Copies of this chain bind each other. A is one copy, B any other.
Amino acid sequence: MTTTSPTLAERVLAGDPRAIARAITLVENEDPAGAELVRAIFARTGRAFLVGMTGPPGAGKSTLVDRLIAELRRQGRTVGVVAVDPTSPFTGGAVLGDRLRMQTHAADVGVFIRSMATRGHLGGLARATSDAALVLDAAGKDVVVIETVGVGQDEVDIVRTADISIVTLVPGMGDEVQALKAGIMEIADIFVVNKADREGADRLVSAIEANLSLQHYGDGEWRPPILKTTATSGSGVSELAAAIDAFRDHASGRAPAHASGARDTMAARRRIRGEYRLRELVARLFMYHLERRVLAAGELEVMVDRIAARELDPYTAATDLVNRSIQLPDDPMTR
């Protein structure tokens, strides 16, 4: 443990924006000090409500999140935002750069917005997003919004990182049925039809409704509402904030008339998230051990070359690497 990390942790816990920014950079870069920081703050997390927001590009999610921030602030709640920007797997640089958005809330210490780039390696996005949310949680933000673009594997990560999943769609994006088919029906806790002043909004609502009517919802089970918003004017945003609260009450068993089947949805989700995260961390630490303590310099490259030349198959290579790694390098019998 270094002497700087506890100080940084204390400053994060006090809500210092510069400390929050520094802490998120550490976890984003996979700096060992980032792991140390998470260790130090972890016991003080779990209080924030994590809101995941996804949908296809062009659905207006950024503007909607901006309006939601304003609504939550009006209610006196503090807000953290992690905007996950898909970027190239090659450069790894941040892209969307929400400079305009940051300016809007720059003077408000109750709001912290951070853009993060998609990491081009296994599990990097989920890990960095989850740690950044922990930092904002520890810093005392009441609500942490995790915003991402896309309707593919990203959703799985969001489901595993957030307490609620909001799927935002817009009218006129080609074949609405396609969009609904693409696996998003089952992850949404709330549907938002944004740009609801556009032609086709009611048709899109009907298409979602038709799909929902095919699902079976048990007694007391949450049925995803479909909300219409126009983020540019702010129309429907207070209703969205109310729906998020209603879901939270329901999922945490505080809703007045809910059946026992719905109890502890939030706790169950958080537990699944915790297990996923633990497994992912274990895999990463093991690869670190393998590369630093088992393999000779350049050895992995030779193996990869032999696989490329079809002299060695990946399953045999992987089995060999694991078998060698699970022997301690300072095993007394081999010393």
Contact = CB atoms under 8 A, between A and B. Distances in A.
A152 interface: yes
A278 B290 contact: no
B314 A38 contact: yes
Most chain B CB within 10 A, of A174, A176, A183, is at: A183
A107 interface: no
A154 B56 CA distance: 13
Q: Copy number of this protein in the oligomer?
A: 2
B122 A283 contact: yes
A322 interface: yes
Nearest to A328: B327
A178 B159 CA distance: 23
Interface string A263-279: 00001001100111111
Interface string A322-335: 10011110011100
Interface of A: 35, 38-39, 42-43, 45-46, 56-60, 85-91, 95-96, 118, 120-123, 125, 148-157, 159-160, 170, 172-176, 178-179, 181-187, 195, 267, 270-271, 274-287, 289-290, 300, 303-305, 307-308, 310-311, 313-319, 321-322, 325-328, 331-333
